[in-house]
Structure 1
């Protein structure tokens, strides 16, 4: 077997560098699944055994914590570029899933390796993508790796959906609601936070306008809370001026009416490779369970508020350009005109 491996490794390969690609799917795996990382770095000795000098083995590990299904991995892009320029004699990875779990990326790498006479080595052996049998085997490995990812996702998503249908899935609640240590949702014990939310809904009920609610908040110089979603201050309350988008989010969020909801939007992949988030009509939500926890308004009041805002402005996919268009039925002051862009 070793003789066969060395027959594939030619002098032309050894004149170029060996590239060792190291990746873990998540940062948690980087810190907890250290044995896999050690095995990946250990492939350096495999390259040395095949004839490469230790200093000719280049390690690319900038994608630690990046999913193999991601298309924006800087380290993988660098690897493809080095192979395409003919700098690589061999590419080493512990297994196909370390290199890619995306068939498009994997087959593109195979094609470039075949064109530049670059070998591929994993824990099982050395392959020459220019040879039909080796390329067939590598293609099958890539397909199996992608199928494995699909099964893992389906299993995870199935568990999430089951918990969501029972109303037991913990989803970060909006400001004004918190989870207790027992896992139940209650009103935030901070009375100032409660006062702000009650004021918002009461003012909208009186005026019937999100813009007018913002204007009254600015006139009265009221500060409103937001909960920091990420960073070093994640989970902390931040206070600032109320804006139009904050009012709309509160009015459209069923959690404020004491209802558990899941699947209110879905991500769609665009032709250009990007994604957009699209709101779904209520009858297409995965789960809607009224009266599942305390709220600030009743379910009937929430329905009335939603009907009012929709009458003023039709809903649009999140991120759509036309969502920035001003509603002529809204107030015409500069404050609300600017706020509409962030609605």
Structure 2
């Protein structure tokens, strides 16, 4: 990144605006790692020292609390790319590459746009001109290292979770009817109405061997079934309503009701539009299955018989 070859900040750059991109990966980091956020905002002074008036240094911080692993759902990053594409940006500022992108595809798209529009990129180490080969090479290397760092961090996190899961100690969200005791063990829900509803469901299936017959009996008798709100308003509360076949099948296929600890029943996949989705994993491919890990509404033998009947 030699400044002897040419002066990087030119009058053409100064005629355009400066854009400072600020990001933290999670809301916890936003509240706890305040020093990092302050350092990012302080880059405005770097832009001023290079010749940009403070009123033309625009801060994009709408992505605070969002991961940089993908540009998806990062409106701030999309805004930055748009400003680059239409030639409004003379320089893009970010504390480090990982603040702008943890994904090489997103990072290289930003570099290519910056090269095409003759936009500079500034981080804590210096100023880069992506139109200049050596600078573009260094920026690409930094992006690769940033993506690799995220991979290593995720591998460590997943490794720790798998180790706890192998011991049956990983605390996972429990289905309705099961709850965590203060000592960490899994127990039947102390709410007797919830308890009784699950017993009725399993007893009815044991008699009829049909999920649709379970639904018909609940409707005929006017029985309601509980559902725990997982997110949003009222999170953690229990709602009562009608029972449908998909709900019955979901419960009958869940081994936790048989007292088994399971890890790896689903995996993350990608749709055609690259959005993420959950995919079911065959029982033979579950990463962890510990039978008799806690109390259940049925035993493991009955659970296996139910799977055969359902198939």
Q: Give the TM-score taking structure 1 as reference length.
A: 0.88
Paired position in structure 2 for 1:27: 27
Paired position in structure 2 for 1:42: 42
Q: Give the TM-score taking structure 2 as reference length.
A: 0.97
Inter-partner Cα distance in structure 1 for 2:105 and 2:3: 33
Inter-partner Cα distance in structure 2 for 1:146 and 1:281: 31
The question of 1:161 aligning with 2:162 is answered yes
> How is 1:1-343 mapped onto 2 (pairs within 5 angstroms)?
7-72=7-72, 73-310=74-311
* Contact kept in structure 1, 2:71 and 2:101, CA below 8 Å: no
Inter-partner Cα distance in structure 1 for 2:51 and 2:117: 19
Inter-partner Cα distance in structure 2 for 1:4 and 1:156: 44
Deviations 1:242-282 (A, max 9, x none): 11111111100000000001101112223431233221111
* Contact kept in structure 1, 2:24 and 2:64, CA below 8 Å: yes
Inter-partner Cα distance in structure 2 for 1:62 and 1:222: 47
* Contact kept in structure 2, 1:5 and 1:125, CA below 8 Å: no
Deviations 1:39-60 (A, max 9, x none): 1111111100000001100111
Secondary structure of the 2:137 match is helix
1:2 Cα offset (Å): 11
Deviates more, 1:272-281 or 1:27-36: 272-281
Structure 1: gaps of 5 or more residues = 311-343
Inter-partner Cα distance in structure 2 for 1:23 and 1:6: 31
Inter-partner Cα distance in structure 2 for 1:41 and 1:195: 56
Q: 1:5 to 1:50 in 2, by over 3 A?
A: farther
1:307 Cα offset (Å): 1.2
Segments of 4+ moved more than 3 angstroms = 1-6
* Contact kept in structure 1, 2:95 and 2:123, CA below 8 Å: yes
1:292 Cα offset (Å): 0.6
1:88 Cα offset (Å): 0.2
Could you say what the CA RMSD is over the residues aligned between the two structures, in angstroms? 1.6
Inter-partner Cα distance in structure 2 for 1:270 and 1:5: 47
Inter-partner Cα distance in structure 2 for 1:15 and 1:165: 60
Structure 2: gaps of 5 or more residues = none
Figure out how many residues of one structure are paired with residues of the other and give that number: 310
